[in-house]
Amino acid sequence: MCREPQLVEVREALTDEERELWAGIDRRRRERRRRRVSVVGPEDAELMDRIMDGGSLDLVSWERVRREPAEVGDGVPMVPVVQVFARDVPGWEWPGGADVVQVLWCPQDHAEPAGRRFYWGPTVTVRFRSSSEVGTVAEAPRAAGAQGIYVARPCVLDPAEVVDLPAGDEMPEGLFERGEAWAQARGTEYHRTLACRPGWKVGGWPSWHLTHRMRVDCGVCGAGMRLFLTVDSGGDPGLTVGRFGELRVFVCPADGAHPVGLNIQ
């Protein structure tokens, strides 16, 4: 169950004065478009920001719309994202006795859940289990009001082992240049074809293509966390995260029971 505050839609009617101000912005915008100049002037842009006040505007109902954290009472059932067996992931260290990992998340957006700064998306939990101890398999839960982009379409994995190398900012000085030279001599590009491979993957290296490299530390013990899973948008199983990006799940190397780290690029 997810008991973290969820983002809910909050609507607030604009005042008559705010509606008149917005109508004036629209008139000036149409006039600017007719004269082929900047569609929104700096003063009007500032005024729009003040009227929207951190939200968006519904011009049908003339309401300001925000998404704000709200408590969820008894919690919301998490839904399954992926299940992987140890035999399909050679080289990964599994907790004693575990041979299957199950990843679940809450199918609602959360803004900066506890211990996860600069994150907006579903909360995630990782459970390592022993398949020999599983009795009756329960039906997959479906949370009421779940966002469709966070509910996976059932499909079967066909895992393949590939080499995934780190990006230049993860490597000692000089080693990246050697890697580039090695790749060029073989008619390819290191950073495009060998480093931070795209798609769904267990392990490997994260790409920091939208931001600078960010250190992901365990919120309990402070250890640098290791990339465990990358969830890619599109294709099977039909999930979408961020702006059609990647959600990366990091685990603590010191204790797998510590809460996971999350990042979307």
Rounded to whole angstroms, how far apart are CA atoms 61 and 59?
Answer: 6
Could you tell me how far CA 24 lies from the centroid of its own chain?
38
pLDDT of residue 125: 93
Model confidence band, residue 255 (pLDDT cutoffs 50, 70, 90): confident
pLDDT of residue 237: 92
Amino acid at 216: V
**Angle, vertex CA 74, rays to CA 73 and CA 76, nearest 5:** 100
DSSP state of 148: G
Could you read off the pLDDT of 48-98 as tens digits, one per residue? Answer: 999 999 888 998 999 999 878 888 778 888 999 999 999 998 888 888 889
Report the interhelical angle of 16-34 vs 42-52 (nearest 10°).
150
Could you read off the pLDDT of 98-147 as tens digits, one per residue? Answer: 999 999 999 988 887 766 777 889 999 999 999 999 888 888 777 677 88
Exposure pattern of 164-193 as b/e (b: 16+ CB <10 Å)? bbbbeeeeeeeebeebbeebeeeeeebeee
DSSP state of 202: E
- For the chain, what is the mean pLDDT? 89
pLDDT of residue 115: 64
Rounded to whole angstroms, how far apart are CA atoms 236 and 141?
Answer: 19
* Strand order across the 100-105 sheet: 79-85, 100-105, 124-129
Rounded to whole angstroms, how far apart are CA atoms 149 and 8?
Answer: 16
Rounded to whole angstroms, how far apart are CA atoms 252 and 259?
Answer: 8
Answering whether pTM is above 0.85, one says no
Model confidence band, residue 219 (pLDDT cutoffs 50, 70, 90): confident
Q: Report whether pLDDT(221) > 90.
A: yes
Token couple for 244: 């059609």
Could you read off the pLDDT of 3-13 as tens digits, one per residue? Answer: 888 887 889 99
Which of 110, 121, 106 is closest to 151 using CA atoms?
A: 106
Could you read off the pLDDT of 13-22 as tens digits, one per residue? Answer: 999 999 999 9
Q: Report whether pLDDT(185) > 90.
A: yes
Tokens 């009421």 sit at which residue? Answer: 144
pLDDT of residue 183: 95
- Whether 250 and 263 have beta carbons less than 8 Å apart is answered as yes
Amino acid at 33: R
Instruction: Name the phi and psi angles at 44, rounded to 5.
Output: -70, -35
- What does R_g of the chain's alpha carbons equal in angstroms? 23
Q: Which distant-in-sequence residues (6+ apart) come within 8 Å of 244 by Cβ?
A: 233, 234
- The rounded percent of the chain whose pLDDT value lies above 90 is 53
Amino acid at 11: R
